[in-house]
Amino acid sequence: MKKILSLCIALLCAALPAVSLLSCGTDDEKAPSASVTTDANSTTAAQKTQKPLDTDYKEPFFPDVGVYIDYVASNSRAGSVEGGGTHRVDSRPAGTVKAIANLGYRFVGWSDGVTNAVRTGDTADQSKQVVALFEYDTLELPVLHITTETGDDVRSKTEYINADLTVFNTDKDYCLDALQMQIRGRGNKTWEYEKKSYKLKLSEKQSLLGLGEGKAKKWVLLANVCDQSLLRNYLALHLAGAMPYGVWSPDCTSVDVYLNGEYRGVYLLCEEIDVNKNKVDVPEDLTGAGADDIGFLVEISGNPKDPTFECNERDYQIHSDLSTNENEAWEQKQYIQDYLRSAWQAVEEGDEEEIARLIDVDSMVNAYLVEEILKNLDCGYDSFYLYRQKGGKLTFGPLWDFDNALGNADEGTENYFDLYVAYDERFQSNPWLFTAMKQEWFRSRVVKMWDESKDVCSKLSATVLTEGKAGYRSYCRNFEKWKLFGRSWNRETEQITSLKTYTQHYEFLASWIDQRLAWMDEYYHDETFIPDWDSTPINPEKPDPEWPDWWNPTPNPDPKPETEEVGPPPIADGIGNDAALTLDSEHTALTVDPSSVSTTIKGNMGEGIECLFDNDPWTKYCCSVGRGGGWWGQVQEAGTVEIHIKLEAGTVLSGYSMTTANDTAKYPERNPDSWKLFAKADNGRWVEIDTSSADALGMGAYDFTAYGRLIDGNTVNASEYKLEITHTGVLQLSELTLYCK
């Protein structure tokens, strides 16, 4: 039976025309002109290498009396048969049955040669089984089918599980059949999404789909949930690899992914940033390398793992494998740390000669330009790599992680106009780059490299349009599987969430990059840019209105007032029994030394716990509490963060206030859910003196607003206090003020 089915599949696949277009977004959206041909006689190389779908049906057991037809699906993951099952046909014809393909698969016919999905009135002389045949709905993209050893899903981002990898729907030279490998999840905040990203470790080195300059074992599958064009990382990595100054950049391509037979959507298959002679060519293992003149790879990371160190107020993770000798490893870490700090000191002082001695300046200019062209929100916070070859200089790259770029995030990155990376006033700014941009000689080199790269940059929008059209049906199918349109999953703006079709998303991206390049070319060639550049962010009233009709750009928000002191924000009216505190003689605000405060959850970069007590509402304490929630994923469970405060002397508190942050109107869910306040008694025990919640205090969607609460019955004279906040997702407050009488 199985041999007959395989023959039927092959014959049907050769005879049937290509699958019809899939819909995506609104019902009236049409496929772009670059859609795949439907000529039955034109078989593509991809179709020739399509792998048949394995079957999982069971052969029937027919009763001895009567004639029966058993209608089943060839694979339960691929489709089903409506009205199927066993029909007795010796006394009357069979009823109506219909083959229904699941998302990611297509119906190719029945095992007896019938090609219509719906059939009725079948008869037979003897009992038989008729199988609805399904195939992978492979369209324009290559297919990666991963089968785990146990058949279970991938549930861990730390523990690998064994699996097989099959690659098809591509040139025969790149097809693979059941290659042994291991797979685990990857990502930090992105791991909370339903559509997961993965890391692959092959049993033997391969150049998957011909990517890269050589073979490798480690590969990455990016889900790109936050980028509904699915092309931002694709475009950024190809730009980085094509720039005139050649720093290695990971190669990548879009693929369809199936896991254990289930369609999982479109992913970006990428080379992993790794120490490898074909990638970052520094020693893979520093054992026996000593502690002088070593090569290394490091990363500015918002979620660093040991070994780590600090430089220019950023956390760095060392990705090179240090020596297995503990003392030697410590010396190697010190060497790496000292080298970066020396290079940073040279950049701070603006000494061109010293910078050139320690740093590959061309790579630094190249990194600045790519990050600036793409307006990458995370360029100074996470996934920013630097490396040094033995005997060489500090090199900026490889560049990575651009889903929060190209108009896809807030905080000033959404608009095509003005510079972003060049300023230190920006969210998550990169100190290496904005500090270097203060130097006239560095800006001169920026303009020179910009002019050399304009030909490469001019092709970016065409790349987006070509890829979006060529892979249109596969990209659309991803959004049938994952309902992502119309919601902000990370930091997407209203302009992005208003786009309801895939066509709108990739056309927006192409339009944005064209506008961006035109603006930068004009700005860099203004006669004042090199000698008299003012390092104050530009803030025009409105951009040029050359956008599609469905996009309505908004200018950047007003910048922070340039005053030395910012007065206290207003106290909101009391709600219910919570009387409002007033800044009069009855209640005195305490001065808290920020250095005397600690917390169980470190805040984001530049948004630490000290910001709660600096009397500046424009700064804030911002962190992730619990699992899930916030703007990156689905709420899963709450967590608790503790804030410990030490005062100079024993004090009986009469009240406290919490001040909302700069963007609470946009993210009201970041107000704390509930909390308890404790005082440390003389016996060392914590005594609860107050408990409340955002709802009880009436905290709402308002920026820079303080909500006060009086403490009744507190007689504890204490110099240590603890605030326990229970919350799910992102928590933020700009100020926490304590009062006494």
Mean pLDDT is lowest, of 291-305, 602-616, 629-643, for: 629-643
Q: What was the pLDDT predicted at 663?
A: 83
Cis peptide before 307 (omega within 30 of 0): yes
Instruction: Give helix then strand counts, H and E, for the chain.
Output: 14, 32
d(CA 426, CA 397): 21
Lookup: tokens for 353: 């000669």
Asked whether the CA dihedral 274, 277, 282, 286 is positive or negative, the reply is positive
Question: Which has more confidence, 561 or 440?
Answer: 440
Compute the average pLDDT of residues 592-606: 85
Q: pLDDT tens digits, residue range 182-195?
A: 999 998 878 889 99
Confirm if 1 and 129 have CB atoms less than 8 A apart: yes
Lookup: tokens for 137: 């709905």
Question: Which has more confidence, 320 or 545?
Answer: 320
Percent of the chain with pLDDT over 70: 85
Q: What was the pLDDT predicted at 605?
A: 64
Confirm if 473 and 38 have CB atoms less than 8 A apart: no
3-class SS of residue 703: coil
Q: pLDDT tens digits, residue range 527-572?
A: 899 998 888 777 654 444 444 444 443 333 333 344 333 344 444 4
d(CA 341, CA 697): 46
How far CA 432 is from CA of 394, 457, 638, in Å, comes to 12, 24, 37
d(CA 368, CA 375): 10
What integer best gives the mean pLDDT of the chain? Answer: 84
612-650 CB burial, b ≥16 within 10 A, e <16? bbeeebebbbbbbbbbbbbbbbeeeebbebebbbebeee
Residue 252 scores a pLDDT above 70: yes
Mean pLDDT is lowest, of 214-223, 256-265, 622-631, 642-651, for: 622-631
For 588, other C-beta atoms within 10 Å of its C-beta total: 13
3-class SS of residue 658: strand
Question: Which has more confidence, 21 or 725?
Answer: 725
| C-alpha atoms less than 13 angstroms from C-alpha of 551 in its C-beta half-sphere | 25
Residue 352 scores a pLDDT above 80: yes
Angle between helix 361-374 and 440-457 (nearest 10)? 60
**Burial class for 591, CB neighbours closer than 10 Å (0-12, 13-18, 19+):** exposed
Q: pLDDT tens digits, residue range 472-487?
A: 999 999 999 999 999 8
Q: Which of 116, 132, 111, 122 is nearest to 88 (CA)?
A: 122
Question: Which has more confidence, 139 or 556?
Answer: 139
Structural domains in the chain plus CATH codes: 2-30+51-136 (no CATH), 143-271 (no CATH), 588-740 (2.60.120.260)
Residue 386 scores a pLDDT above 90: yes
d(CA 237, CA 280): 15
d(CA 216, CA 204): 8
- What is the pairing mode between strands 653-659 and 706-710? antiparallel
Lookup: tokens for 148: 């785990």
Mean pLDDT is lowest, of 309-323, 364-378, 470-484, 690-704, for: 690-704
Q: Which of 119, 62, 117, 127 is nearest to 95 (CA)?
A: 119
Q: What was the pLDDT predicted at 667?
A: 83
Radius of gyration for the chain, computed over Cα atoms and rounded to the nearest angstrom: 30
Q: pLDDT tens digits, residue range 81-94?
A: 999 999 999 999 99
SS (H, E, C) 291-353: CCCCCEEEEECCCCCCCEEEECCEEEEECCECCCCHHHHHHHHHHHHHHHHHHHHHHHHCCHH
The set of residues, in sequence order, having a beta carbon less than 8 Å from that of 704 and lying 6+ positions away, is 569, 617, 659, 660, 661, 662, 734
